[in-house]
Every structure is written in C-alpha cells, then in structure tokens.
Amino acid sequence: MKGIAETKHNLAANYFSLGEVEKAQELYSESGSIFKRIDDNKNLIETYYNLATTYFETGNYEKANEFTDIAISIGRQKLLYIELCNLLSIKANILFVMKDYEKSSRINEEVIKLYDENNMTSDSLAFNVNRAKLLSLNSEEDCKKAFNKLIEKYKDENNLADIYFEMSQSLQDDDCRKKSLELYEKLYLKSKSYSYKLKIEKLKGS
C-alpha cells in the first residue's frame, strides 16, 4: 500500500507542476488517506504540507492554513520536531500573508523555543525568511539586513528567487522584484513548473 501512496504522491506533484491543480489535490488527498491508514506519519505530514502548498500558491490561504494545522497536529502528537518546526514556520508565513502579524510572530517564537529545547539549528529557509519578514513591521533596515544575510547564505537560484520575492513583497522593493522575476523566468524556462509561472504572474502584476 505504501508504494501506491508514494506513486499517487509523486503523480500529484507532477500534475501540480503542469498546472492541473484539482487533480494534484485529489491525488494528494488519496495518498494521504493511505499514509494515514498504514501509520506512516512522516509521509503523511509531507503529503498534507504539499497539499497545503497547492492551496497557498493558488491564493486559497484559508485552506492552506487548514491543512497545515492538520500536519502540525500530527507533528505534535508524534514528537517529530524537525518536521514540526518546518510546518510551524510555514504556518507563520501563511498568517503573515493573511496579515495576522501577532499570531505569525507568536508562532515564530515557538519555533525558536523548539529549536533551542531540542538542540537543533535554525537553518530552515522558511523560518529565516519569515523572521526577516516580521522585522519589516518595525524596521525596514533590520529587515533588509536579515534578507541580505540570507542572500549570502543561500546561493542556488531557486532559493535566491524565493528570497528576492519575499524581500520585494515585504519592502515593496522594485529592484528585488526585478531580480526575483528574472530568476523565476530563468527557472521556468528550464522546468515549465506551474509554481514558477504563478510567481511570475504575481510579480508582473505587482
């Protein structure tokens, strides 16, 4: 059964990459049901995370939040701290986009506490990006410094595209928007991934 679930999960990723969003969501749901049945919690968490991502990237933040919460609940129950920190960072980002800055900040503090309590390093890009974004609420200069540190640390084009994208959204910086757009267009030419197409459309519309 695990093989069937993994096949459906991989097919879902392929369908989403092609822009077949509803088919991807259907397959992620089916694979999640199987992973739940066989008590494969790590793959179940990943499936719910990917399902949440399909909703987040297409602008349905309420649904993204809902499926992230399900994954977080499993992470808490099974004490999967690495996965839990990543998921909480994603939730903090969703809440930031939904302009619930207080909850986003509170969850970010919980992630820091989990990292400390479990002797883990806070090297998750999602966590560090959200921490930088939260700084923009009080100091654009501190926000810019935090993002620039991430640019120095993460060198591959996909991560840089994401960092410049978030920087452009947080600081309303047109230079960052242009850099992000250039990188996403380059990545899209290589892969034709729907995720990159969505980002390009958002950047061109901003």
| Residue 206 pLDDT grade (very low, low, confident, very high; cuts 50, 70, 90) | low
Structure tokens at 134: 């939260």
| Res. 123 pLDDT band, cuts 50 70 90 | confident
CA dihedral for 44, 49, 55, 61, sign (positive or negative):
positive
Number of H helices, E strands in the chain: 11, 0
pTM of this prediction? 0.89
Q: How confident is the model at residue 121 (pLDDT cuts 50, 70, 90)?
A: confident
